[in-house]
């Protein structure tokens, strides 16, 4: 069988296909699974739950990815969260929005990203309801199906719609966050919080949100979403405007104008 020449030029396309295949397998399982009863929720921390559904979805993803890339490392909240940067690393959130899933609130996604030697190469965010697949490959753009994504062109904060996430796991950060919230809310057209950072970043890439920020995020929460934003022409950094690596910490993202405004105002 002839090899697609593009594959030789950019092997990240193969990584993207692997990520899409694994995400669809996990999504099919998640759509068929009923949210477990409350007495089967495992409490990992304050307001932070995990269930056998999350764990099984993660194992589905891991198994699928390792068939295609047996020498890769797969990291995620349940599979082992030690971040490594050498070689091929898959960064997986099998169910971003677990609390939403448990309450049957339809804002949940599967998020899978591939990094090679610490650099993001491919990413997929697959929304469960509706079945929307967002994908990106470094240097090849971000896509929703066959539609290329582009961040919004809104540059006036008063017209901007901003996504956010609450520091629900670390309430000691609430005073800082509340001050930020007040500054951003009073200067924009609105703030939204749906409980899935992966989908929030996909919405930035699609131009629905003009910006987004959150104080506490793990690599698996944001790796695929950050690549989506960047490949759609946006910017994703920490709150000081520094390059956001694959570690834990805050994220500010948006189209270039709103991202710049967010960084300036979040740091006050």
Q: What SS3 class is residue 230?
A: helix
Domain boundaries, the chain: 5-148, 157-266
CATH class for domain 5-148? alpha beta
- H/E element, 214: strand 211-217
Surface-to-core class of residue 117, CB atoms within 10 Å of its CB (0-12 exposed, 13-18 middle, 19+ buried): exposed
**Cβ neighbours for 24, distance < 8 A, ≥ 6 positions apart:** 126, 133
**109-116 and 88-96 as β-strands: parallel, antiparallel, unpaired?**
antiparallel
Percent of the chain with pLDDT over 90: 76
- H/E element, 266: helix 256-266
| pLDDT for the residue 10 | 67
Q: Do domains 5-148 and 157-266 have the same CATH topology?
A: no
Distances (CA, A) of 229 to 66, 204, 219, 254: 27, 6, 15, 7
| pLDDT for the residue 41 | 47
209-243 pLDDT, tens digit each: 999 999 999 999 999 999 999 999 999 999 999 99
CATH topology of domain 157-266: D-Maltodextrin-Binding Protein; domain 2 (3.40.190)
Compute the distance between CA of residue 60 and CA of residue 216 in angstroms, rounded to an integer: 27
Tokens 């966050």 found at: 177
Most confident of 20-29, 96-105, 239-248: 20-29
What is the token pair recorded at 97? 């929005």
Predicted TM-score of the model (pTM): 0.91
Q: Smallest Cα–Cα separation from 20: which of 59, 56, 64?
A: 64
Compute the distance between CA of residue 258 and CA of residue 246 in angstroms, rounded to an integer: 23
Task: Calculate helix-pair angle for 52-68, 12-32, nearest 10 degrees.
Answer: 150
The band of 83, judged by pLDDT with boundaries at 50, 70 and 90, is confident
| pLDDT for the residue 49 | 46
Percent of the chain with pLDDT over 70: 88
How crowded is the C-beta side of 267, counted as CA atoms within 13 Å? 14
**6: alpha, beta or left? (left if phi > 0; alpha if psi -120 to 50):** alpha
167-217 pLDDT, tens digit each: 988 889 999 999 999 999 999 999 999 999 999 999 999 999 999 999 999
Compute the distance between CA of residue 161 and CA of residue 170 in angstroms, rounded to an integer: 25
| pLDDT surpasses 70 at 37 | no
Q: Smallest Cα–Cα separation from 242: which of 228, 259, 258?
A: 259
Tokens 């971003």 found at: 96
* Residues of the chain by 3-state class (helix, strand, coil), percent to 5: 40, 30, 35
| pLDDT surpasses 50 at 7 | no
Identify whether the C-beta of residue 66 lies closer than 8 Å to the C-beta of residue 92. no
What is the token pair recorded at 99? 């609390």
116-175 pLDDT, tens digit each: 999 999 999 999 999 999 999 999 999 999 999 999 999 999 999 999 999 988 889 999
| pLDDT surpasses 90 at 73 | yes
Lowest mean pLDDT among 13-22, 34-43, 67-76: 34-43
Identify whether the C-beta of residue 239 lies closer than 8 Å to the C-beta of residue 231. no
């Amino acid at each position: 069988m002839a090899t697609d020449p593009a594959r030789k030029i950019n092997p990240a396309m193969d990584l993207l296909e692997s990520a899409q295949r694994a995400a669809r397998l996990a999504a099919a399982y998640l759509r068929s699974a009923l949210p477990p009863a409350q007495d089967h929720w495992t409490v990992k921390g304050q307001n932070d739950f995990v269930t056998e559904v999350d764990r099984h979805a993660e194992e589905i993803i891991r198994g699928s990815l390792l068939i295609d890339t047996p020498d890769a490392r797969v990291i995620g909240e349940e599979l082992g969260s030690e971040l490594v940067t050498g070689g091929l690393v898959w960064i997986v959130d099998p169910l971003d929005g677990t609390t939403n899933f448990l309450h049957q609130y339809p804002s949940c996604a599967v998020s899978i990203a591939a990094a090679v030697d610490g650099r993001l190469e491919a990413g997929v965010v697959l929304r469960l309801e509706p079945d929307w697949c967002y994908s990106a490959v470094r240097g090849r753009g971000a896509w929703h199906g066959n539609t290329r994504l582009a961040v919004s062109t809104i540059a006036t904060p008063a017209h901007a719609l901003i996504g956010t996430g609450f520091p629900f796991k670390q309430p000691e950060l609430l005073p800082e966050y509340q001050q930020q919230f007040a500054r951003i809310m009073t200067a924009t057209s609105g703030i939204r919080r749906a409980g899935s950072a992966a989908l929030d970043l996909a919405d930035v890439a699609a131009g629905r949100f003009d910006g987004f920020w959150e104080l506490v995020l793990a690599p698996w929460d944001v790796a695929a979403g950050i690549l989506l934003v960047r490949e759609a022409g946006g910017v994703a950094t920490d709150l000081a405007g520094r390059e956001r690596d694959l570690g834990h910490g805050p994220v500010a993202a948006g189209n270039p104008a709103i991202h710049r405004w967010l960084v300036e105002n979040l740091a006050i």
